[in-house]
Structure 1
Amino acid sequence: MPTLIAIIISYLIGSIPFGYLVGRLWKGIDIRELGSGNIGTTNVWRNLGPVAGIISLLGDAGKGALAVLIAKQLGGPSTVLLASLAVLAGHSYPVFLKFKGGKIVATGLGVLLSIAPLVALIAAIVWLLFVGISRYVSLGSIAAAVCVPVSMLILVDKWQVILFGFIISFFAIYKHRDNIKRLLAGTEYKIGQKKM
């Protein structure tokens, strides 16, 4: 029962759409009607500026960390991993926005910082390197997602956590499938690129 409670609470926490709320409270707009239509940090930053973007990032990462914290109080390692999946599912498929949410990168960062901080640090460095060189946020996110299970294979000795790393990596890449198509077509948005 505690595990089920942790999963439900984590899903509901994940469903809190910080990007959407920032848009509504910051500018009185629906962020889903701007840019990529995504409620995540990148779209908020791109359309509402860095302050709004940072608030969205902290909110999304914070709910990932909060879900892990609650799960640790309610159960053991398995409860934590299931709750972590639930908070990511909530962010990606939020009940409050008709199950249309973000791409789990920021929330995933919050989760990883709580269960595998060194892996999170490596992923963040990979993200920064790829974004800095290519100016594609999506490419940085995909590269960071790929490095998560690879880093876990090297640094983590618990097979459940490694499996968790592979699952969230696959999920993050899947959520970026439209970005991958645009990257291959050469039509993906670059940082600093003028809006059409």
Structure 2
Amino acid sequence: MTLVNFLIIAASSYLLGSLSFAIIVCRLTLHQDIRSYGSGNAGLTNAYRTMGAKKTVYVLLGDILKGVAAVSVGGLLDGQLGKLIAGVFVVVGHVFPVYFGFRGGKGVLVGAVLLALFDWRIFVIAIVLFVIIVAATRWISLGSICAALTVPFTMHFFYHDWLMTAIAVGLVAAVIFLHRSNIKRILAGKENRFSFTGKPQIQKEQPKIEK
């Protein structure tokens, strides 16, 4: 990978990742900041809990499209390694969006989209474990962490490339770090369990961030 290609991939992916659709959809439709509600996180789970299913569909589509765009550029310029680099910087942009004060989501949905675009085999193994964990516990955070932990192993198994494996390890470490508050709540038995029956919080109550 040339330095020019790296810079193009990194810059374009970061700027695309910074388009936080949970924040954008919430502001456009409800004139509120989603980061003032629920977990305070601009991610898919908090979007569902605070805005409801219909608005979360737009968040989902937006985050998928930005991932597709970034990986397409990365793959076009430098193949599989370009896709992986694009994935890293999309996640960085999603977590630290330049357009929104560097306060975004945790990057799990975007990471999953990028994983599916990078290699469907690695994605399937991770998503199967995610579904099993969430079905058993209804903890989205625990499912996300466990799914992420599979990626370095499957990356090395399929590619035998230590650079790609090292990048995967770095991403997993970031996922665990970003979920540190969730881990504390899980250990304390206080983590919220996902439910399809909850009512949207925004416009129903005053802004509230979970501790």
Of stretches 147-156 and 186-195 in structure 1, the one that deviates more from structure 2 is 186-195
Pick 1 or 2: higher relative contact order, CA cutoff 8 A, min separation 6.
2
Separation of aligned partners in 1, 2:124 and 2:65: 16
**Which residue does the alignment assign to 1:97?**
100
Gaps of 5+ in 2: 202-209
**Which residue does the alignment assign to 2:154?**
151
Cα contact 2:81–2:164 (8 A) shared by 1: no
Query: Normalising to structure 1: TM-score of the pair?
Result: 0.91
Gaps of 5+ in 1: none
**Which residue does the alignment assign to 1:45?**
48
The offset of 1:123, in angstroms, is 1.2
The offset of 1:134, in angstroms, is 0.1
In our comparison, the structure showing a higher alpha carbon Rg is: 2
Aligned-CA RMSD value: 1.9
Separation of aligned partners in 2, 1:54 and 1:151: 30
Separation of aligned partners in 1, 2:122 and 2:35: 31
Separation of aligned partners in 2, 1:62 and 1:120: 17
Cα contact 1:61–1:108 (8 A) shared by 2: no
Cα contact 2:129–2:143 (8 A) shared by 1: yes
User: For each residue in 1:141-191, what CA deviation from the matched residue of structure 2 results, as whole angstroms up to 9, or x when unmatched?
Assistant: 111111212222333333332222212111111110110011111111112
Helix, strand or coil at the partner of 1:4: helix
Query: Normalising to structure 2: TM-score of the pair?
Result: 0.85
The offset of 1:70, in angstroms, is 0.8
Is 1:167 aligned with 2:170? Answer: yes
**Which residue does the alignment assign to 2:181?**
178
- Residue-pair matches, total: 196
Over the matched positions of the two proteins, sequence identity in percent amounts to 37
Helix, strand or coil at the partner of 2:130: helix
User: For each residue in 1:27-65, what CA deviation from the matched residue of structure 2 results, as whole angstroms up to 9, or x when unmatched?
Assistant: 222111110011100000011112222321232233222
The offset of 1:126, in angstroms, is 1.2
